[in-house]
Amino acid sequence: MAASAEAAPLRVSASPAASKQLGGAGRGHGRDALVFAAGVAAAVLAILGSASVLAPGSSSLLVAFPVPGPEDGPRTFYDDPELSYDAVDGRRLTGWDAKRAEWLRSRGIARRSSPERVVMVSGSQPEPCPGDAGDHLLLRFLKNKLNYCRLHGIQLLYNRDFLQPAMSSYWAKIPIVRAAMLAHPEAEWIWWVDSDAVFTDMDFSLPLATRYGGYNFVAYGVAKDIRRKSWLGINAGVFIIRNCQWSLDFLDEWARMGPAYPEHARWGKVLRDELSDKDSDVACDQSALVYLLLFNWDRLEKKTFIETEYYFMGWWGEIMDRLDGVAASYEAVERRAPGLRRRHAEREHLLHAAARNAAVRGAVPGPAGGGKTGWRRPLITHFTGCQPCSGGRNPTYSKESCDDGMRRALLFADDQVLRAYGFRHAAPLNDSVLPLPFDYPARS
């Protein structure tokens, strides 16, 4: 948070030395001094007429110099009374690219900075979790996101409100993502991450400029499922979307399939008929997204990137049994590279992350960000179906597999963070910590 721009108040008080001088001088000098003092007092009172306060409990005068206020800046789109943050009932927003560009110019901010500014958005429902330990788990998931954002210089907005009452549950993401674009014109990207998704590679940075530079929407998909028009072909739990007019229009189109609109029931039947494995006539956000992209691909493909090469969002069932092997692979590389074992301040994390990624690139198989093959850390492990808040998990998953999987992933990520503080967990499913020996892992 920027420091306050308010000037320090000037304290004006009587000087004992000056009083003594006035009392002991000749009458002529006394008159001159009194005239001078009266002039000073008049000047002070003139200043106090517009900007002064009395210090509570003190006879001293505090003169506060005026500072620029919010009303002194140039008018922007925020001053338009027609502007609406509402994704459903509000007036459609147009001309956003020009409005945002003008705001950035008025604040002296480059349109495309390096690195590009990102705001991550996540959230949960307003009421307490009904499931056992649900609130505790959500706290741990939130801590995980806070850790990742702190290390990568990303702002995190965690929302617990339904900005549009009808758009609840999984549909709640669209109103808050849209509102975040308007509230953060300085951000080039908004990154939505579901509450039950865990960052399991604290080193990985999104390739925004090198891989997604020409795109406005990026989501994770499975190629074979996309080809057969499965509602599981694209995952709506994690996506990044550029802060631009194209994206606002895209969100509006997506939202119109949701429960705030009268067409919602009809869309449920359309999605069940058109998607190969949709067995419900309830239109969820993910099936709506899959339909929107697949059946409008000619129109949307130039600005849409479906990531399939790394775990932009990895399903936990494919990952959990491999985390121990992933950890062992990274430790083996560090034992051969003394520079990677050097202690460092947390603020230097990205420099050391780049060095570690370069070292493991040729030594550990698999893509950066993890994948179905190899032993690289997965960027995000998503616990779809485990429902940590409600406890109403998918019946195909056992309680033990979900609970142990979430704990294992969270501790795996925590170990990467705790290392800068000189500690690590005692075991993959042990919450107690141990101090790291110097030159770890060579001397573990």
Could you read off the pLDDT of 183-207 as tens digits, one per residue? 999 999 999 999 999 999 999 999 9
pLDDT for 68: 57
pLDDT for 47: 40
pLDDT at 342 over 70: yes
Task: Say if residues 290 and 234 touch (Cβ distance below 8 Å).
Answer: yes
Q: Within 10 Å of residue 337's Cβ, how many Cβ atoms?
A: 16
Asked, for residue 304, whether it belongs to a domain, the answer is yes
- Please tell me the total count of domains within the chain: 1
What dihedral do alpha carbons 362, 364, 370, 373 form, nearest 10°? 110
- Cα separation, 267 vs 272, in Å, equals 8
Q: Is the four-CA dihedral 259, 263, 265, 269 of positive or negative sign?
A: negative
Cβ-count burial 22-57 (b if 16+ within 10 Å, e if not): eeeeeeeeeeeeeeeeeeeeeeeeebbeeebeeeee
Asked, for residue 67, whether it belongs to a domain, the answer is no
Asked, for residue 155, whether it belongs to a domain, the answer is yes
φ/ψ of residue 297, rounded to 5: -65, -40
pLDDT for 65: 53
Give the DSSP per-residue string, 33-95: HHHHHHHHHHHHHHHHTTSEEEPTT-SSEEEPPP---GGGSPP-GGG-TT----SSSSPPP--
pLDDT for 92: 87
Q: Is 315 left (phi over 0), alpha (psi -120 to 50) or beta?
A: beta
367-370, long-range: CB within 8 Å, 24+ apart, which pairs? 367/309, 367/310, 368/204, 368/310, 369/201, 369/204, 369/310, 369/311, 369/312, 370/200, 370/201, 370/310, 370/311, 370/314, 370/319, 370/326
- pLDDT single digits (tens) 420-429: 999 999 999 9
Segment 57-73 mean pLDDT: 55
Asked, for residue 321, whether it belongs to a domain, the answer is yes
Q: C-alpha distances in angstroms, 248 versus 8, 11, 275, 389?
A: 43, 52, 25, 30
> Which token pair is 209?
């400029």
Asked, for residue 205, whether it belongs to a domain, the answer is yes
Asked, for residue 44, whether it belongs to a domain, the answer is no
Three-state SS string over 293-319 comes to HHCCHHHHHHHEEEECCCCCCEEHHHH
Q: Within 10 Å of residue 192's Cβ, how many Cβ atoms?
A: 21
Task: Say if residues 146 and 156 touch (Cβ distance below 8 Å).
Answer: yes
Residue 188: burial class (beta carbons within 10 Å; 0-12, 13-18, 19+): buried
Segment 377-381 mean pLDDT: 98
Is the pTM value of this prediction over 0.95? no
- pLDDT single digits (tens) 265-301: 999 999 999 999 999 999 999 999 999 999 999 999 9
Q: Tell me the range of 11-20, 68-77, 145-154, 159-168 where mean pLDDT is highest.
A: 145-154
Asked, for residue 333, whether it belongs to a domain, the answer is yes
pLDDT at 43 over 70: no
Percentage of the chain modeled with pLDDT above 90 = 74
- Residue 234 one-letter amino acid: I
pLDDT at 9 over 70: no
- Cα separation, 84 vs 74, in Å, equals 20
Asked, for residue 415, whether it belongs to a domain, the answer is yes
- Cα separation, 302 vs 215, in Å, equals 7
The domain that holds 315 is classified in CATH as 3.90.550.10
Segment 249-263 mean pLDDT: 95
More confident residue, 37 or 215: 215
Range of the domain at 349: 91-444
Q: C-alpha distances in angstroms, 13 versus 32, 52, 88?
A: 20, 14, 59
pLDDT for 35: 45
- Cα separation, 119 vs 149, in Å, equals 9
**CA 255-261-266 angle, 5° bins:** 100
- Cα separation, 125 vs 229, in Å, equals 30
